[in-house]
Structure 1
């Protein structure tokens, strides 16, 4: 069986060794704890790593203060540890540093084991904290680019959209289709994966909020909801109705224009012309024609909403994609 070592695993392994080596070279007591801190602070994204590191640093400093007060004031006994943790954990939660509860508890137990609080011990613990967290932050500054993956999944979604729109056009023209609808299920899964990947990409940018992909995928998600909504309407339309044929031609053109660049205004103008045609058409001759026309008008309105979502999207970030 082929075993793949991921970049995060590699960073964790190397970073842990580096942190322990530095702490050991400085002759720090409990130097292995620096490696533990590094393991805990290397996260899947840069922002999460910084948040985790800050919370652990804050909690550890607070743990040193609590240790000095409780152990020196009450004594180095199991009772004092229990009382300390009883008050310390709520304090950590209050300052929103919950990720640091475990690591700060280790620091507290270090001081308990020393059986005294001195500046040398405080320096020892602070040095372990700084080394462990610092190494993790340095190693986590590098994150592989997700641009290629995001571009690929964007194209996959656009291809599925094109197929769905093309199949809708076939049904509007012929009244039947051999399409199994699998693209509907696939797009739903792709959109969820795409949003998760886009959020991860945002979390990897410390100095800028580059959310172009996330905004794009959210727009496509709203459009997809419309495509799902109109599916039952299409299946109920009478394919012999002349406006249905025109709508089929329109959907065919739309299927060939699924891309990041904004062409919505062109299609909205054409859609408005079709709506005007509907208004000027003779009144329905019978109930069936009335129901067909009503369904088609509803379909037209939904497609208009589909296009409006695209019109409000700013495609500049994808202009060269």
Structure 2
């Protein structure tokens, strides 16, 4: 098995070395702690790195303030250290900066080791924090692009949707099918992975909260729910009628046009025209025909919603770009 170094591992190694080099260059005490802070602040996304860095800085400031007061009032004893942690940890929980507990504990131990609170040691600790956090943020400026993987999920989902719609069309047309349905669980997994990756991609942009890929996977996820609801109803149509063949033609054309930029209004108008055509047809003469046509009417309603979801979400995405 080949050993592979990930980009995050590489950033952590380079960042830690750079942080120590800067701290030693400034002749700071406990220079290795700058590397520890850098390692702790490097995260999987830019946004989470900013959040974690802020929490660590805030927690360190609180920790220094609490420990400086108690050490000077009570003395530099092990039990004083325990008392500081008893007070400090609940404070971090209250102000929601718990990610900074470990980093702050390192700073508190520095004060305990020195055995005195002075201007020079406070400046030393603040510089360690600034160097550690600053280098981590610098390292996190680089994040590998996810576009290739996102395009892969996009393409695979499109192909799976085409297959599902085509097979539904075939069943309505012939009243039977040898389709094994493997695209259903595969599509579900592709949507899950694609949406997670799109969300991860958003987290790498500081001021962006949604993007086109995110809207795409969100749209397809909702449409897939509709396709899943349709399947048991399509499977009930064992007796083919003229109306089922019309819906089959519609589904087949829809399968050929699966694309994020297909003409939704065209299919909406066509579906409305089909509904009007059905209304003008003679009423069913048998119970079986009545049940089939009722099922087809429900399928048309779901297809209307299927098209509406794309129209609605894509319009929202266009507004976000304005």
Give the TM-score category using the shorter length. over 0.9
Q: How does 1:90-169 map to 2 (within 5 A)?
A: 90-169=90-169
Q: How does 1:32-47 map to 2 (within 5 A)?
A: 32-47=32-47
Q: Which residue of 1 aligns with 2:85?
A: 85
- Does 1:294 pair with 2:294? yes
Cα distance in 2 for partners of 1:56, 1:247 equals 60
CA deviations over 1:26-84 (Å, ceiling 9, x no partner): 22111111111111111010000011001001111111111110100111112211211
Cα deviation, residue 114, structure 1: 0.8
Cα distance in 2 for partners of 1:179, 1:276 equals 32
Q: Which residue of 1 aligns with 2:279?
A: 279
Cα deviation, residue 240, structure 1: 2.3
Cα distance in 2 for partners of 1:262, 1:203 equals 29
Task: Tell me if the contact between 1:262 and 1:313 (Cα under 8 Å) persists in the aligned partners.
Answer: no
Cα deviation, residue 313, structure 1: 2.8
Secondary structure of 2:235 counterpart: helix
Q: How does 1:163-182 map to 2 (within 5 A)?
A: 163-182=163-182
Cα deviation, residue 207, structure 1: 3.4
Q: Which residue of 1 aligns with 2:265?
A: 265
Secondary structure of 2:91 counterpart: helix
Cα distance in 1 for partners of 2:248, 2:222 equals 22
Cα distance in 2 for partners of 1:172, 1:292 equals 10
Secondary structure of 2:207 counterpart: coil
Q: How does 1:303-314 map to 2 (within 5 A)?
A: 303-314=303-314
- Does 1:221 pair with 2:221? yes
Q: How does 1:202-217 map to 2 (within 5 A)?
A: 202-217=202-217
Cα distance in 1 for partners of 2:245, 2:35 equals 69
Cα distance in 2 for partners of 1:313, 1:121 equals 56
Cα distance in 2 for partners of 1:191, 1:241 equals 35
Task: Tell me if the contact between 2:191 and 2:221 (Cα under 8 Å) persists in the aligned partners.
Answer: yes
Cα deviation, residue 239, structure 1: 4.4
Root-mean-square deviation (CA, aligned residues, Å) is: 1.3
Cα deviation, residue 314, structure 1: 2.4
Task: Tell me if the contact between 1:38 and 1:132 (Cα under 8 Å) persists in the aligned partners.
Answer: yes
Cα distance in 2 for partners of 1:3, 1:306 equals 46
Cα distance in 2 for partners of 1:11, 1:313 equals 37
Q: Which residue of 2 aligns with 1:66?
A: 66
Task: Tell me if the contact between 2:56 and 2:101 (Cα under 8 Å) persists in the aligned partners.
Answer: yes
